[in-house]
A and B are shown apart, each in its own frame.
Chain A
Amino acid sequence: EVQLVESGGGLVQPGGSLRLSCAASGLTFSGYWMNWVRQAPGKGLEWVATISSDGSQKYYVDSVKGRFTFSRDNTKNSLYLQMNSLRAEDTAVYYCARETRRRLDCWGQGTLVTVSS
């Protein structure tokens, strides 16, 4: 069974940093493109970032470019989202999700990031 487990969320002050992790199991991790999607409280889904299977290609939504860095370690079956210069509008549940055939077919349960003073 494929499992994605996010961690690293919490309360951080505006301007602060946080590093999210996503641990994957039950899949050949290095064969998949992976994504982060976020959902602000009571709001809809927003795609945040995508990383290629080997980590060489990365794409970001405009609102996080230059502040967030998406990386992966295929030896540890893990994803990382380094989030710097955090803003109140970054407050959300962050999901990692596997991409297969141009759809997000497997999601973690999410980790909550709250940016507040």
Chain B
Amino acid sequence: DIVMTQSPDSLTVSLGERATINCKSSQSVLDNSNNKNYLIWYQQKPGQPPKVLISWASTRESGVPDRFSGSGSGTDFTLTISSLQAEDVAVYYCQQYYGSPPWTFGQGTKVEIK
């Protein structure tokens, strides 16, 4: 099974500052046949189900503010919030969707305001 490891576990950032979350997979999630990384980023706010922010490692979902961006390939990925807003307080998860199940999640990164 592919193990997903996020860092840090929690992050405190001032409003308007940059937040960076890392996600590392135990094996590559890049499909060389189509050059797609099967890596998803979700945001979960308290009391709510998760919401997809970014798919294919770097494709922002419709309606997601452009301050959210994803990057990386293979085994190392990053979610960046370029200018943290109050409504971005949440837990962020990466998930791999490579090959066949199990589809594994990272342990989550909690983002708070300083």
Interface segment, A16-24, A41-49, A74-82, A83-91? A41-49
A interface secondary structure, majority: strand
Q: Is the pair B40, A45 in contact by a Cβ cutoff of 8 Å?
A: no
A56-81 residues with Cβ-Cβ distance < 8 A to B are 59-62
Assign chain B's interface to a size class. 20 to 34
Kindly report which residue of chain A lies nearest to residue B36, judged by CB atoms.
A102
A-B contact count (CB 8 A): 56
Assign chain A's interface to a size class. 20 to 34
List B contacts of A102 (CB < 8 A): 38, 40, 55, 97
Interface membership of B71, Cβ < 8 A: no
Interface membership of A1, Cβ < 8 A: no
Contact for B93 among A44, A60, A108, A110, CB less than 8 A: A44
